[in-house]
């Protein structure tokens, strides 16, 4: 062995000429490594592939002209972007390559941003400066952020766009879920604009719970909230029977009676079995509350709690007090104060109480609570942070109960503990945590939610958008959300409006729900007499909608008070109510308007003027529009509906003044009383 090595050494480095020659050769070879490596680089391979692919295409000349060889780079210093993705993804900007299915040569789908202005990694993440496939797309030792899976791509939109966008339904849903499911009660989420994300779920106070429900129901609810109502947003804490028994004992023992939240009604329920359901229907309870029908489908809105098994939950005397005036028990509730009389309450409450499920409480048998159980229950309530969401007398709302999530989208992977078999990426970690929080450790307090896979994707998307980039973005690049205004009407009418919970459905000056029309300019729009009548007894305006304005049994003075306020305050500067007369249009104008209505503009496609032959089902019925709307409003509406009510479906027809005037004349002739064949459905 030694001999052989020595002879080899002699052969190569025996004399100076030989040594010089060999060293030169080694030097040459090592020098050649760099250009060879460059020549065999991946991006060159792909560029060759691209040139081969376009050679036989009809648009080869154009593509060839656009092609630039070598490493390409998009450099945007202010965004911290150095993206060389276009070195391999050569055809991103070639719209004619839409038929190409092979990557990396596909054209980029149409988006509102220019690639040169934003680069690639802003949205897709990955390592922009890398020039090999593995380093650019995957995480490496020096780079943690792999390419963002397409299912979470909208999180990147959310880095700059802080409000909802029409093209990002997943992100919008995720952000709503964070508020709607009360995630932000425990987890603080500071948004990049400095505000804190607010919860929209309004969990009830538990300080007077014994007035409302029984200990048995609390027990069943805590064990499995979704068994009571599949739509419940309350998560499952996976409590043991003993813990549940003690928490329910504590909550009942801790509850103090509230004067007036229970009543003993002397009126007997009406013997008519259909009276209950018809009052429930007439009051449009289903606009907000859902009930599971016989087929197992939920019917109704999701503003209020589901009522499928409400009879198992509430005590009759509490329900009657609640129906009389919900604000006694819960002043800020979104439920309107209906002003039901005793006979109506006596009709509605047995109907609701009959909505029961015999299985729900069948196996719940609780002995009287001992002081030890109550004390243990109190400890558990503090431990699980129940007071983060619910108001509980004697227990303080814990501060920062769960980790803050303001920067969760940039959490380093080294700080995460993954489950066995789970891909080591941040999105997978977040999705896993939402899906099964206790799988990470049985001792964790985060409860089990019952999200669908799509909801988990949406939540993950929203959380990923809360990252370092979104927090350090130059203000010039951020697109702010339109903040929810805190508009509250003033005075006596304002009190009445909050008592009737108008804002649960209607939006005024940027505040309120979106179930019913925006009333910001209602005073310019409608006639006084109609509004008083409508408030007293709301009729059907839009036959195709199943959600309608309920009848609140207002007194004359209340209806007048509300009408006066609306007519005075909610006035649009663009509409001068008195500029056009309510009647007295010439028959010629009316006839011309009629021709335009049925001919040129074909309004009957969506609206009904004559119930005998018009069938349009989308817009409001116009049979009595001349008694409802002001002429000036109709005229302005014809000219530009979106200016008066942004987002309305009515198309802007850019009508000439003359067309708008004669159509207004025709519509103003449609008075109530003249035609009684109103399609009431």
Partner 1 sequence: MTRSRFTPTQVGTAAPSTSSGQAPGCPAERSEAVAPCRDSRPLSSRAKLRRSPIAMIITILATSLSISCSRKAESARLPKPTAFGAAIVESSGGKQTAQTGSLLQQPVVVQVNDAQGNSVTGALVEFSAVPGVIFDPPNGLTDSSGQVTTNVSLGGIAGRYQIVASTFEKSHKKIDLKLEEIALSYQQTLGRQLNNQYCDRCHNPESTVERVSNYDNLEVKPHPFTAGDTLNKITDADLTAIISHGGPALNKSPLMPAWGNTLSKSDIEALISYIRAVSDPPSREAGPVYAKN
How does 561-581 read in b/e, with b if 16+ C-beta sit within 10 Å? bbbbbbbebbbbeebebeebe
> Can you read off the two tokens belonging to residue 125?
């993440």
Per CB under 8 A, which region of 54-62, 109-117, 513-521, 563-571 contacts partner 1?
A: 109-117
Q: Which three-class secondary structure state does DSSP give residue 369?
A: coil
Shortest Å, Cβ 277 to partner 1: 17
Between residue 152 and residue 171, which ones bind partner 1 under the rule CB under 8 A? Answer: 152-153, 166-167, 169-170
Kindly state whether residue 618 participates in binding partner 1, applying the rule CB under 8 A: yes
Note whether 191 and 162 are within 8 A (CB). yes
Between residue 557 and residue 616, which ones bind partner 1 under the rule CB under 8 A? Answer: 599-602, 605-606, 615-616
Strand 81-83 relative to strand 74-76, pairing: antiparallel
Kindly state whether residue 652 participates in binding partner 1, applying the rule CB under 8 A: yes
Between residue 47 and residue 86, which ones bind partner 1 under the rule CB under 8 A? Answer: 49
Per CB under 8 A, which region of 97-105, 350-358, 398-406, 625-633 contacts partner 1?
A: 97-105
Alpha-carbon distance of 239 to 313, in angstroms, equals: 20
Kindly state whether residue 148 participates in binding partner 1, applying the rule CB under 8 A: yes
Kindly state whether residue 150 participates in binding partner 1, applying the rule CB under 8 A: yes
Q: Which residue number, 455 or 471, has a Cβ lying nearer to partner 1? A: 455
Kindly state whether residue 8 participates in binding partner 1, applying the rule CB under 8 A: no
Q: Which residue number, 191 or 545, has a Cβ lying nearer to partner 1? A: 545
**How many CB atoms are located within 10 Å of the residue 40 CB?**
9
Strand 507-508 relative to strand 298-300, pairing: unpaired
Kindly state whether residue 42 participates in binding partner 1, applying the rule CB under 8 A: yes
Instruction: Give 572-591 as a DSSP string.
Output: -TT--TTSS-SS---HHHHH
Shortest Å, Cβ 139 to partner 1: 6
Long-range CB pairs of 426-430 (<8 Å, 24+ gap) are 426/145, 426/464, 427/148, 427/149, 427/152, 427/460, 427/464, 430/459, 430/460, 430/463, 430/464
Which stretch of DSSP H or E encloses residue 75?
strand 74-76
> Can you read off the two tokens belonging to residue 356?
């029961």
Shortest Å, Cβ 469 to partner 1: 19
Note whether 385 and 186 are within 8 A (CB). yes
Q: Which residue number, 45 or 492, has a Cβ lying nearer to partner 1? A: 45
- Residue 125 has phi, psi (to 5 degrees) of 60, -160
Shortest Å, Cβ 41 to partner 1: 11
Note whether 475 and 168 are within 8 A (CB). no
Shortest Å, Cβ 427 to partner 1: 11
Q: Which of 22, 149, 401, 435 binds partner 1 (CB under 8 A)?
A: 149
Q: Which of 17, 95, 141, 368 binds partner 1 (CB under 8 A)?
A: 141
Alpha-carbon distance of 441 to 64, in angstroms, equals: 57
Alpha-carbon distance of 665 to 589, in angstroms, equals: 6
**Residue in 444, 404, 490, 349 with CA at minimum distance from that of residue 183:** 404
Q: Which residue number, 97 or 497, has a Cβ lying nearer to partner 1? A: 97
Cα angle for residues 111, 116, 117 (degrees, 5° grid): 75
Applying CB under 8 A, what is the total number of residues that bind partner 1? 63
Kindly state whether residue 109 participates in binding partner 1, applying the rule CB under 8 A: yes
Kindly state whether residue 651 participates in binding partner 1, applying the rule CB under 8 A: yes
Q: Which residue number, 100 or 343, has a Cβ lying nearer to partner 1? A: 100
Kindly state whether residue 139 participates in binding partner 1, applying the rule CB under 8 A: yes
| Helices within 40-84 (DSSP H only) | 42-55, 60-66
Per CB under 8 A, which region of 140-148, 319-327, 520-528, 670-678 contacts partner 1?
A: 140-148
Between residue 508 and residue 567, which ones bind partner 1 under the rule CB under 8 A? Answer: 544, 546
Q: Which residue number, 109 or 474, has a Cβ lying nearer to partner 1? A: 109
Q: Which three-class secondary structure state does DSSP give residue 359?
A: coil
Question: Is the four-CA dihedral 232, 234, 235, 237 of positive or negative sign?
Answer: negative
| Site string (288-317) toward partner 1, x via CB under 8 A | -----------x------------------
Per CB under 8 A, which region of 77-85, 141-149, 200-208, 666-674 contacts partner 1?
A: 141-149
Q: Which of 73, 96, 131, 140 binds partner 1 (CB under 8 A)?
A: 140
Kindly state whether residue 435 participates in binding partner 1, applying the rule CB under 8 A: no
Per CB under 8 A, which region of 64-72, 103-111, 114-122, 254-262 contacts partner 1?
A: 103-111
**Residue in 151, 660, 199 with CA at minimum distance from that of residue 389:** 199
Note whether 289 and 305 are within 8 A (CB). yes
Q: Which residue number, 494 or 543, has a Cβ lying nearer to partner 1? A: 543
Kindly state whether residue 138 participates in binding partner 1, applying the rule CB under 8 A: yes
Cα angle for residues 243, 248, 251 (degrees, 5° grid): 125
> Can you read off the two tokens belonging to residue 64?
């060839």
Alpha-carbon distance of 53 to 103, in angstroms, equals: 12
Residue pointed to by tokens 């030097």: 27
Q: Which of 101, 295, 362, 368 binds partner 1 (CB under 8 A)?
A: 101
> Can you read off the two tokens belonging to residue 40?
């065999």
> Can you read off the two tokens belonging to residue 66?
């656009």
Shortest Å, Cβ 515 to partner 1: 12
Note whether 348 and 516 are within 8 A (CB). no
**Residue in 529, 517, 514, 539 with CA at minimum distance from that of residue 627:** 529
Per CB under 8 A, which region of 78-86, 132-140, 305-313, 574-582 contacts partner 1?
A: 132-140
Shortest Å, Cβ 483 to partner 1: 23
Q: Which residue number, 550 or 616, has a Cβ lying nearer to partner 1? A: 616
Q: Which residue number, 163 or 169, has a Cβ lying nearer to partner 1? A: 169
- Residue 13 has phi, psi (to 5 degrees) of -120, 25
> Can you read off the two tokens belonging to residue 595?
């021709």
Note whether 679 and 611 are within 8 A (CB). yes
Shortest Å, Cβ 263 to partner 1: 35
Shortest Å, Cβ 634 to partner 1: 17
Kindly state whether residue 137 participates in binding partner 1, applying the rule CB under 8 A: yes
Q: Which residue number, 458 or 535, has a Cβ lying nearer to partner 1? A: 458
Kindly state whether residue 483 participates in binding partner 1, applying the rule CB under 8 A: no
End-to-end CA distance of the chain: 104
Kindly state whether residue 21 participates in binding partner 1, applying the rule CB under 8 A: no
Q: Which of 190, 355, 653, 671 binds partner 1 (CB under 8 A)?
A: 653
Q: Which residue number, 246 or 306, has a Cβ lying nearer to partner 1? A: 306
Q: Which of 11, 424, 445, 492 binds partner 1 (CB under 8 A)?
A: 424
Q: Which three-class secondary structure state does DSSP give residue 184?
A: helix
Shortest Å, Cβ 170 to partner 1: 6
Q: Which of 69, 257, 281, 453 binds partner 1 (CB under 8 A)?
A: 453
List interacting residues with partner 1 (CB under 8 A): 42, 45, 49, 98-104, 106, 109-112, 124, 132-134, 137-141, 146-153, 166-167, 169-170, 299, 413, 423-425, 453-454, 457, 544, 546, 599-602, 605-606, 615-618, 640, 642, 649, 651-654
């Amino acid at each position: 062995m030694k001999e052989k090595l020595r002879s080899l050494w002699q052969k190569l480095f025996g004399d100076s000429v030989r040594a010089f020659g060999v060293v030169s050769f080694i030097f040459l070879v090592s020098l050649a490594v760099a250009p060879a490596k460059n020549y065999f680089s991946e991006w060159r391979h792909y560029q060759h592939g691209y040139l081969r692919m376009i050679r036989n295409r009809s648009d080869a000349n154009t593509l060839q002209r656009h092609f630039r060889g070598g490493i390409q780079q998009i450099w945007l210093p202010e965004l911290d972007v150095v993206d060389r993705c276009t070195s391999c993804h050569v055809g991103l900007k070639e719209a004619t390559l839409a038929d190409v299915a092979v990557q990396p040569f596909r054209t980029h789908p149409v988006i509102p941003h220019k690639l040169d202005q934003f680069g690639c990694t802003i949205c897709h993440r990955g390592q922009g400066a890398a020039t090999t496939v593995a380093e650019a797309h995957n995480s490496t030792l020096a780079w943690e952020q792999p390419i963002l899976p397409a299912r979470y791509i909208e999180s990147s939109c959310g880095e700059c766009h802080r409000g909802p966008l029409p093209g990002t339904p997943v992100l919008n849903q995720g952000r709503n879920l964070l508020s709607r499911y009360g995630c932000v009660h425990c987890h603080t989420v500071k948004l990049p604009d400095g505000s804190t994300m607010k919860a929209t779920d309004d969990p009830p106070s538990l300080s007077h719970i014994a007035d409302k429900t029984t200990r048995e129901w609390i027990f069943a609810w805590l064990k499995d909230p979704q068994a009571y109502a599949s739509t419940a947003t309350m998560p499952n804490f996976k409590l043991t029977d003993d813990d549940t028994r003690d928490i329910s004992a504590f909550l009942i023992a801790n509850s103090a009676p509230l004067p007036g939240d229970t009543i003993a009604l002397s009126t007997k329920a009406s013997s008519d079995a259909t009276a209950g359901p018809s009052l429930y229907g007439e009051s449009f309870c289903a606009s907000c509350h859902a009930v599971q029908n016989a087929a197992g489908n939920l019917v109704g809105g999701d503003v209020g709690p589901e009522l499928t098994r409400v009879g198992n939950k509430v005590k009759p005397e509490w329900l009657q007090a609640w129906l009389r005036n919900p604000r006694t028990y819960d002043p800020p509730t979104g439920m309107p104060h209906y002003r039901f009389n005793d006979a109506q309450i006596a009709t509605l409450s047995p109907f609701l109480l009959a909505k029961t499920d015999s299985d729900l409480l069948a196996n719940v048998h609780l002995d009287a609570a001992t002081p030890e159980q109550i004390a243990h229950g109190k400890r558990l309530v503090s431990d699980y942070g129940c007071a983060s969401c619910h108001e509980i007398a004697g227990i303080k709302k814990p501060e920062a109960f769960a980790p803050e999530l303001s920067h969760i989208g940039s959490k380093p992977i080294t700080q995460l503990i993954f489950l066995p078999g789970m891909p080591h990426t941040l999105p997978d970690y977040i999705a896993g945590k939402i899906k099964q929080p206790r799988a990470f450790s049985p001792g964790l307090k985060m409860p089990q939610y019952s999200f669908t896979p799509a909801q988990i994707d949406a939540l993950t998307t929203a959380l990923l958008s809360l990252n370092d980039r979104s927090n350090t973005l130059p203000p010039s690049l951020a697109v702010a959300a339109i903040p929810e205004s805190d508009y509250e009407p003033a005075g006596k009418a304002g009190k009445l409006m909050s008592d009737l919970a108008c804002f649960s459905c209607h939006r005024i000056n940027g505040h309120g729900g979106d179930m019913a029309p925006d009333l910001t300019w209602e005073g310019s729009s409608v006639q006084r007499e109609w509004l008083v009548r409508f408030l007293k007894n709301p009729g059907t305006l839009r036959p195709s909608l199943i959600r309608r304005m309920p009848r609140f049994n207002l007194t004359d003075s209340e209806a007048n008070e509300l009408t006066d306020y609306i007519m005075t305050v909610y006035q649009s500067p663009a509409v001068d109510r008195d500029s056009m007369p309510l009647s007295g249009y010439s028959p010629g104008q009316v006839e011309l308007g009629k021709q335009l209505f049925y001919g040129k503009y074909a309004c009957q496609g969506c609206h009904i003027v004559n119930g005998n032959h018009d069938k349009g089902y989308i817009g409001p019925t116009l049979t009595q529009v001349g008694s409802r709307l002001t002429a000036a409003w109709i005229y302005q509406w014809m000219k530009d509906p979106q200016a008066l009510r942004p987002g309305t479906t009515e198309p802007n027809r850019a009508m000439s003044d003359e067309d708008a005037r004669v159509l207004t004349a025709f519509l103003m002739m449609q008075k109530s009383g003249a035609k009684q064949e109103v399609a009431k459905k």
